[in-house]
Amino acid sequence: MLIGELAERAGTSARTLRYYEEQGLVRPRRDAHGYRQYDDAELKVVHEIRSLLAVGFGLDDIKPFVACLRATGSGHVCPDSVAVLRRKLAEVDGYLAELTDVRRQLHHQLTQALEHRENPCL
Amino acid sequence: MLIGELAERAGTSARTLRYYEEQGLVRPRRDAHGYRQYDDAELKVVHEIRSLLAVGFGLDDIKPFVACLRATGSGHVCPDSVAVLRRKLAEVDGYLAELTDVRRQLHHQLTQALEHRENPCL
DNA sequence: CTAGGCCTTCACACCGGCGTCAAGGCAACG
DNA sequence: CGTTGCCTTGACGCCGGTGTGAAGGCCTAG
């Protein structure tokens, strides 16, 4: 299939697919006219990329997942992917802790602000 | 005090302070040589900016806080700030929910990956 | 006189994941 | 033969908060 079709089927843009290729995530063949030719397996790859992106991974982090998907063809996860998963999980946990703290601070500020409501500025 | 001194006392750079000024957050006087002159109150303002930035606010969101701090001189929070606080709190809550979901997905992927460990790729 | 240290403005570089435009090629259809 | 519609490469724009460097002015100390 051509890039336009894949883009539509994957719910993204041709530009995006070219970018993924530039980043080494997708490797289409070329036909006689130099057009990119993708087979159906690439659709799964792109879906994988999109969902991982949505989860907060960067394209670099996604590479091992794609390599694994390409190697096994199934949903199995390779050691590299596991390492990235662990790292990302820890990262997300840290982020959660941080964000929870932020939330507490905001809540504190807000309640304090409402306490001092009898003293509005100006 | 001059910009260099304020930068050092606030733990940031002169470039950053000029940027804050450009964004309308800080308004130093100018001396005979065109040098920026800051008084001590600006140090509090810059600290406020830095901590709010660290909490995830953008400079635009921070403006009402600074305006309020400048108006009251104390820790009181103005209506505009309250509105921003509410909005940001909701935003952070949404972000937390999203991130929690992400964490669950990651955890799920990871445990599944470890289950299939007897079938490592390659 | 020179060197150094503060300041000034202007303006480009960076990160990531694209959007968007330009200029062109090849195919099919009228 | 022209139009439409797909494709190609290349390259700039964006966002936000800074780093960094150039080119210059002013003051002070040696």
CA-nearest of A91, A10, A76, A72 to B106 is A91
Alpha-carbon distance A105 to B63, whole Å? 18
CATH node for B3-118: 1.10.1660.10
What pLDDT is recorded for position B75?
A: 57
List the single range of A28-32, A48-52, A85-89 with lowest mean pLDDT: A85-89
- From the list B75, B15, B61, B65, the residue with the least C-alpha distance to B6 is B15
Test B86 with A113 for CB contact under 8 angstroms: no
pTM: 0.79
Joined tokens for residue B54: 């660290």
pLDDT digits over A43-84, tens only? 999 999 999 998 888 999 999 989 988 887 665 667 888 888
Q: With 50 as the cut, is the pLDDT of residue B122 above it? A: no
Mean pLDDT value of segment A90-100:
86
Band of residue A117 on the pLDDT scale cut at 50, 70, 90: low
Give chain B positions within 8 Å (CB) of A103. 89, 92-93, 96
Residue B106: which of A75, A92, A112 has the nearest Cβ?
Answer: A92
Q: Which residues of chain B neighbour A106 with C-beta distances below 8 Å?
A: 55, 85, 88-89, 92
Q: What is the DSSP letter of B37?
A: E
Q: Which residues contact A1 (CB under 8 A, 6 or more apart)?
A: A9, A37, A38, A39, A40
